[in-house]
Structure 1
Amino acid sequence: MSVRENADVLVINCGSSSIKYQLLLMDEGRLLAGGLLERIGEGDSRLRHRSRNENGELVEVAREVRARDHREAFGHIAEIMRVSGVLTDGARLSAIGHRVVHGGVTFTRPALVDSEVIEAIRDLIPLAPLHNPANLLGIEVCRESFPQIPQVAVFDTAFHQTMPPWAYRYAVPQDWYHRHRIRRYGFHGSSHRYVADQAARYLNCPLDQLNLITLHLGNGASAAAIAGGKCIDTSMGFTPLEGLVMGTRCGDLDAAVPLHMQRVGNLSVEGVDHALNHDAGLKALAGTNDLREVLLNAESGDEAAKLALDLYGYRIKKYLGAYYAALGKVDAVIFTGGVGENASAVRSLVCSGLDRLGIVIDETANAGSEGAEAVRDIGRSGAAVRLLAIRTNEELQIARETLARVQAPV
């Protein structure tokens, strides 16, 4: 499929009540426009949009809009992009890339959207009932609005499909695996892949010659072990609930706890599900899911915040050690995501006491200007393992994979 060299790619992340979008000029990797339309169907929808003016500066506008459903929402987005001059009836648009949360084992790479792909994503709804329906709706509406533009589905789970069976299988009855598809899938794949590529460029070494541990730390958090550019293990599992302690998710938990709370706590299945996904994690331990507040409260002597921070860092360190063992040799540990990129105290906590593994943080470099550079080297010079803080860009990664899929031979 022919696509012009200076292609524009629109990236869509469609949620149940919101749409995030970015329009990127691919030859420069530059953001032309982007925004968020939220509270769809709630009567007081709000659109925040940024686009470049004639001087190349990003200018933001915000307005209240009426978006009774996603179709109306996409209409507002298309209108403001046309008014701001970055999109004219799709004429500058080469492809649209859609973030799709769950690709199961069906999708190991981005897929050019057609009726078969749509039905396959629909078949995976039981694995991601809160996300895949909204992702599908975004695809369907964009196909209606831009029928001549190639559409590509990019899956959060695809990067992790290289895991070996001993990493992705659970020790559960065979019928659970074969009939109900119970296994580890992993998420945040676009972020893990993006920072792995960035690390390879920074270290001036081919990705297929590197062993990396990537730590995506934000309100949601996950770790990945990457050998030669391929994921061999990741902390999130059948759902994004497993693994590290997160903002409102519990992370690893004895499987009997939910059953116990149903029996003795009189909680429903829905009640347990809500508690573990929305009322657990840092929120449960420290009263807030904002790690910045946890850090401030811990510095002020709040014991609950101190415990939350210690537990949070300890769980990351355990996974770091486990993945070091799984890889055998580690060239670099990468911190990314809102917390990983900006919380020097967390990076210091995670790396403390790991000198014998060759993981030694340079506290001066670590405490430097947060987020000032796309890649920052925060490890001690000469240490066996490089420590990098890398600003992630999932939208750019989705756009790159979208363009590569559109340009690939049929």
Structure 2
Amino acid sequence: MAPAKNLTMVMNAGSSSLKFKVFQALGNGELESLASGLCERIGDTANSRMKAKTAEGGSVTLQEGFSDHQDALGLVSRFLADTFSSSFTRSVHSVGHRVVHGLDISAPVLIDDGVKAVIEKAISLAPLHNPAGLQGIEAAMATFPAAPHVAVFDTAFHQTMAPAAYMYALPKELYDEQAVRRYGFHGSSYKYLVPRAAKTLGKPVESLNAIICHLGAGSSMCAVRGGQSVDTTMGLTPLEGLVMGTRCGDIDPAIVTYLLGQGHSGAEVDALLNKRSGFLGLTGHSDLRAVIDGAAAGSAPDRIALDVWRHRIRKYIGAYALQMGGPLDALIFSAGIGENSSILRAFLLEGLEWYGIALDEESNKAAVDGVAGNITAPGAKVQVLVIPTDEELSIAEQAIEVVDRT
């Protein structure tokens, strides 16, 4: 008897890593996570290893040399076959791949040569992510040749933005010939959060007006009007927008030319803005928890860094509220910082009662460590929600939808 094709693999390939998660389709249409893991230090065969865990709580760390993503995925397949069934690879219904940049592709798509060409074309805009994405796709197609493969792009959710939001005031030929525009990222997270927020509020998705704060080491915000993205903080690349762990976010672009004129190379400036700025640049710590501790202990640089972080986010809250075209239904917090730091949520929203945004202190404290919650104070006009995101589940849902309709 042929194995039931009821499993979906989700893959997120980095330059030296490969994350995976396996979902099983249940009879009620829901998806259940069976296993997840990370292959790290791919290419460093002396130190590469796989860490994996199952839904039942079992965990394993396997030390094995991975020369490339194909080697890593081979170990993943053996682990899953040993853990679940020798016919595991034949039970895979679909494979969903997280791809960072898809230019103007506006929906998840079956991967073919044309899609691969788009991913390759976008390498110049996502040089750290898209090459690894292609490597992961090629490895997975060799490992699961009978399964359809779907690309789910971080940029796709924001393709509903109007030209007023995505165009830069630069010579138009840069857009026409080199695709220079705002794309936005974290799309799988936003696509996951929007319908769940609408359900929480008892509203149809198409009538939801919300500002979503995806706050983590990489952070962005999205203005959602009528259930669709109308603006977002990240731009051509993930560098634009909020203050992040090591990224500067918004700056005067003349700083770049100034630094180049001072003798810094282009590569040095790029590394400075992406890897040495943000909280790391302001405080010496990229982890926001260390910044919070420092501020509490009286460190002036840490306190200033938190003030800069808050100022930027509140500026975008105000700007995005004007994009709603009507009342703002909700302000939503998600991702590592947004989901887990009640202290920072309270700090961010302090003094906004005049605008109808106020927190219930006890509800705010309770909504941590993966616990969702409505943390709105009684009588406040704007609902404040904490919704843990699940980008892997979002990718799995989108992959299944694409395969089932083809």
Which of the five TM-score ranges fits, normalised by the shorter chain? Answer: over 0.9
Select which of 49, 65, 87 maps to 1:46: 49
Separation of aligned partners in 1, 2:232 and 2:367: 30
Select which of 34, 39, 45 maps to 1:37: 39
Secondary structure at 1:24 match in 2:
strand
Query: Is the CA contact (8 Å cut-off) linking 2:220 and 2:241 kept in structure 1?
Result: yes
Alpha carbons of structure 1 residues 173 and 369: separation in structure 2 relative to 1, 3 Å: closer
Deviations 1:123-171 (A, max 9, x none): 2222212211111111111111111101100000000000000000000
User: 1:396, CA displacement in angstroms?
Assistant: 0.1
Structure 1 segment 147-296 matched on structure 2, within 5 A: 147-264=145-262, 266-296=263-293
Query: Is the CA contact (8 Å cut-off) linking 1:15 and 1:131 kept in structure 2?
Result: yes
Select which of 322, 325, 334 maps to 1:325: 322
Percent identity reads 43
Structure 1 segment 361-380 matched on structure 2, within 5 A: 361-368=359-366, 370-373=368-371, 375-380=372-377
Separation of aligned partners in 2, 1:400 and 1:326: 29
Greater mean alpha carbon deviation, residues 237-246 or residues 175-184: 175-184
Query: Is the CA contact (8 Å cut-off) linking 1:51 and 1:86 kept in structure 2?
Result: no
Secondary structure at 1:182 match in 2:
coil
Secondary structure at 1:366 match in 2:
helix
1:67 aligns with 2:66: yes
Separation of aligned partners in 2, 1:130 and 1:86: 35
2:307 paired residue number: 310
1:383 paired residue number: 380
Query: Is the CA contact (8 Å cut-off) linking 2:357 and 2:380 kept in structure 1?
Result: yes
Which amino acid counterpart does residue 31 of structure 1 have in structure 2? Answer: S
Which amino acid counterpart does residue 301 of structure 1 have in structure 2? Answer: G
Query: Is the CA contact (8 Å cut-off) linking 2:90 and 2:146 kept in structure 1?
Result: no
Separation of aligned partners in 1, 2:88 and 2:331: 44
In structure 1, runs of 5+ residues without a counterpart are none
1:135 paired residue number: 133
2:18 paired residue number: 19
Which amino acid counterpart does residue 254 of structure 2 have in structure 1? Answer: A
Query: Is the CA contact (8 Å cut-off) linking 1:87 and 1:93 kept in structure 2?
Result: no
In structure 2, runs of 5+ residues without a counterpart are none
Separation of aligned partners in 1, 2:22 and 2:86: 9
Which amino acid counterpart does residue 62 of structure 1 have in structure 2? Answer: T
Separation of aligned partners in 1, 2:291 and 2:75: 38
Secondary structure at 1:326 match in 2:
coil
User: 1:119, CA displacement in angstroms?
Assistant: 1.9
What CA RMSD, in Å, does the superposition of the two structures yield over aligned residues?
1.5
Greater mean alpha carbon deviation, residues 62-71 or residues 12-21: 62-71
Moved over 3 A (4+): none
Structure 1 segment 75-90 matched on structure 2, within 5 A: 75-85=74-84, 88-90=87-89
Separation of aligned partners in 1, 2:139 and 2:242: 35
Aligned residue pairs, count: 399
Deviations 1:302-321 (A, max 9, x none): 11111111111111111111
Query: Is the CA contact (8 Å cut-off) linking 1:26 and 1:400 kept in structure 2?
Result: no
1:297 paired residue number: 294
Select which of 402, 405, 408 maps to 2:402: 405
